[in-house]
A and B are shown apart, each in its own frame.
Chain A
């Protein structure tokens, strides 16, 4: 790992290590792993498994934030995709390939839609994606006719509940997505273009990068990630709940990216950092639950985490700190 990567990652990793250390000391059996019936069990596996949807959203969101944008619609897209999958299955289209194809295709379409508004019509990203955030949940309810729909479908169930090589299948999906996006960012020109557009859109345009295409691309990837997360969340409970599926998860995803060192101004981001961020959020949530503290406290803890991270990232705050002689990093 080179120095630059480590510098980007040090804060989220240290924070995650601290939370894990707390659990090592105070929570009994937190690190206990068990191999039963060819599957791995334990709190850590649970955290990985439960953190997957937010981590997937955060992966897509990282690329969007890297271009200086933001995508508020991912939670609503999760709900719509879940509703679509359940509609297809309950309305006599049980072919898994068809279900996956249609719902992920729709997810990419939603992403392209956002990308079109932001890239082609130059609408501020918060507002452009707000449209789908507001309308999307209505759309999901429309598809489901306002109902919470449960269904059965063994091979669809595998997406959220299955195990591959003793590891929960969602974790495998996350790992594959992370590897692909990582390769995409490191080994292709488009990865560099994303960073360039986020850093300075005008300069990148003058150097021959087409910001419009880059934005269409990142929002489409973000939509696809949201679609995957929606499928996992739906398959995990084999129920499509348009009202609460993915509710407020867009905020968690943004939080994960910011914890991971992404700057909302664009240009600075880290895919690995965002995953660590998502896992930090999930570890905090699990810790709070296992300590028997009311889970409502998670919101307050999250708020404090955001404020802390914000202040650490703020140059003005660091200046004030230096004046008093103690300079963090």
Chain B
């Protein structure tokens, strides 16, 4: 029990409580809120945000940040739509192609950050401009008439409810991310890197490789999020996912991952995404409040969570959550 309640778990536990509280409040306030179909919709409507947030989780766990996520989604969705509509490629060729592109793009960003010792903020900002600019140059928003039926028909039936393909992709990526983060060497290295880069380096961990891989993972996840966007909307849109990087960062932080890196759970990110989804759904159920309240509430929630993190890092809870010192590695 003591171990369970260690300082590392407290942000995560609070996330769980907030998520449950919000859901219960919604269920009591609105009729039809606590139904299975609404619950499935939390996953369906937030699937591309969710997939992108999972990639972002790894980046933030490693102590970095990735602003190129939204732009990547826009570029992927346009490229995919163009591959379908103008090149008439089959989904089996086109989707791996764009995923590969996303992976390479992410790896390239990671390489720039690692090899030239550049701030992740700037490199991924450039990535955001580049992807969004290329997407806008390529094409305006266009519908996908290419038959994606077989992909969309990959659903899972649970009694009377069906879980659509987009939600399934989200869940699969979630499972994979949990596996990578908590059960593989790569995952341990990511935590070590985020905890303290100097120590990780001195312990002989492959810091360079891990850092580049993390950005590669994020690139892969955001292009997959672009594919999910295409499935979800049946269209390619160069403006898809604009501002989504902020929502993704918010979801990760609300999910209990420390921004300084090294502390957090992948599962927390799912809860973060769900909390954003619950707020959005509750506001649409309420009907009177306008949609911009969503932004304000997300902002407030973000504020509460970062203050909470600071509070937990302060004195009475000991040094377990102290942020790492930002001294450059001496080589």
- A307: chain B residues at CB < 8 Å are 112, 123, 126
Partner of B250, one of A130, A254, A265: A130
Instruction: Report the minimal beta-carbon distance from A15 to chain B, rounded to whole angstroms.
Output: 16
Q: Which of A52-60, A93-101, A207-215, A290-298 contacts B (4 or more CB under 8 A)?
A: A290-298
Instruction: Report the minimal beta-carbon distance from B322 to chain A, rounded to whole angstroms.
Output: 11
Selected A-B contacts with CB under 8 Å, 24 pairs: A117-B303, A123-B306, A124-B259, A127-B249, A127-B306, A131-B299, A131-B302, A137-B295, A138-B294, A138-B299, A139-B296, A142-B290, A145-B290, A255-B125, A296-B137, A297-B137, A298-B133, A299-B133, A300-B137, A303-B127, A303-B133, A306-B122, A314-B117, A316-B115
In the complex, are the beta carbons of A121 and B294 less than 8 A apart? no
Complex CA–CA separation, A262 to B65 (angstroms): 20
Partner of A130, one of B127, B290, B302: B302
Contact string, B284-306, partner A, CB cutoff 8 A, digits 1/0?
00000010111110111011001
Complex CA–CA separation, A297 to B290 (angstroms): 35
In the complex, are the beta carbons of A126 and B137 less than 8 A apart? no
Known: A134-B302, A306-B129, A307-B126. 11 other contacts (CB 8 A): A130-B250, A141-B290, A142-B290, A264-B121, A300-B130, A303-B129, A303-B130, A310-B112, A310-B123, A314-B117, A316-B117
What 9 pairs across the A-B complex have the smallest Cβ distances? A135-B299, A299-B133, A138-B295, A303-B130, A300-B133, A141-B292, A303-B129, A306-B126, A296-B136
Main secondary structure of the interface of A (DSSP, over half): helix
Count chain A residues whose beta carbon lies closer than 8 angstroms to a beta carbon of B: 47
- B249: chain A residues at CB < 8 Å are 127, 130
Q: Is B8 an interface residue (CB 8 A)?
A: no
Q: Is A323 an interface residue (CB 8 A)?
A: no
Q: Is A167 an interface residue (CB 8 A)?
A: no
Partner of B126, one of A132, A136, A303: A303
B residues contacting A by CB (< 8 A) are: 65, 112, 115-119, 121-123, 125-130, 132-134, 136-137, 246, 249-250, 253, 259-260, 290, 292-296, 298-300, 302-303, 306-307, 310
Complex CA–CA separation, A145 to B302 (angstroms): 23
Q: Is A151 an interface residue (CB 8 A)?
A: no
In the complex, are the beta carbons of B122 and A146 less than 8 A apart? no
- B119: chain A residues at CB < 8 Å are 264-265
A142 and B132 contact, Cβ closer than 8 Å, known pairs A130-B250, A303-B126:
no
Interface of chain A residues 75 through 100 with chain B (CB within 8 A):
none
- B296: chain A residues at CB < 8 Å are 135, 138-139, 142
- A138: chain B residues at CB < 8 Å are 292-296, 299
Complex CA–CA separation, A146 to B300 (angstroms): 19
Q: Is A217 an interface residue (CB 8 A)?
A: no
Contact string, A114-131, partner B, CB cutoff 8 A, digits 1/0?
000100011110111011
Instruction: Report the minimal beta-carbon distance from B301 to chain A, rounded to whole angstroms.
Output: 9
